[in-house]
Chains A and B, each alone.
Chain A
């Protein structure tokens, strides 16, 4: 809790100082612990607050740190984007996007997605292998002869 009349600045608050240090690192492209320490001493920052700020920077994923020759090198690194799961057809259908006239995908008055190609039969995609064979045979006008699953394994005695 802050007292009345007290002012918070980056010289007295380690969180604000950490923000300033990160800004400094990003401006310089790369910086070292010694450089930052010298800069803090020059500006009259308490070393205790500086240490707390550095400890906070060490927890940041966006700041890359490498220990080299007894000192620490800091640089800003781009975080990897989180992989987003592909949205399902249903969730896309629920998405209230403005319908484009030239787009084949559009919505009706109630907001439901209209199938742009209703004449195309895609029901066979979801058929079981045996049913698919039957469907193909019927499509070509052949009579479907179901295969026995163990036809090749049986031996006549």
Chain B
């Protein structure tokens, strides 16, 4: 059964795909290894991997867009995600926190893309 965030992710990805946007999902989670310790554990992230990377990354007209997906519109970003957002915006990229299909449509309008 998909989690609430996965439901939002599927809807947003479908919308972005229909709009013809180049985007991809980021798999930046730690990998579980059963050989670590007695009960298994997570492998440590690479030295240059950072925490809080957005779930989706899109590029529209050379513009970097980080999209963080949430289960609903009220959900908050974690401190690491806020730091990532600040770093993206400081480097003239865009960062969106999306918790519903309506917010994704609003983002597309802001980017000047007709989703219909």
Contact = CB atoms under 8 A, between A and B. Distances in A.
A66 B79 CA distance: 7
A114 B81 CA distance: 62
B77 interface: yes
A33 B82 contact: yes
A51 B79 contact: no
B51 A67 contact: no
A55 B83 contact: yes
A24 interface: no
B82 A72 contact: yes
Interface residues of B, number: 13
B86 interface: yes
A58 B51 CA distance: 9
A67 B77 contact: yes
A75 to B, nearest CB: 12
B87 A67 contact: no
B91 to A, nearest CB: 9
A65 B50 contact: no
Interface string A65-82: 111101110000000000
Contacts of A67: 76-79, 81-82
B80 interface: yes
B24 to A, nearest CB: 23
A67 to B, nearest CB: 5
Contact of A72 (B83, B87, B90): B83
Interface string B47-87: 00011000000000000000000000000111111110011
A71 B77 CA distance: 9
A134 B1 CA distance: 64
A70 B82 contact: yes
Nearest to A59: B51
Given A58-B51, A67-B76, A51 B82 contact: no
A54 interface: yes
B86 A33 contact: yes
The 8 closest A-B pairs by CB, nearest first: A65-B79, A72-B79, A67-B79, A51-B87, A72-B82, A67-B76, A67-B82, A58-B80
22 contacts: A33-B83, A33-B86, A47-B90, A51-B83, A51-B86, A54-B83, A55-B50, A55-B51, A55-B80, A55-B83, A58-B51, A58-B80, A65-B79, A66-B79, A67-B76, A67-B77, A67-B78, A67-B79, A67-B81, A70-B82, A71-B82, A72-B82
Interface of B: 50-51, 76-83, 86-87, 90
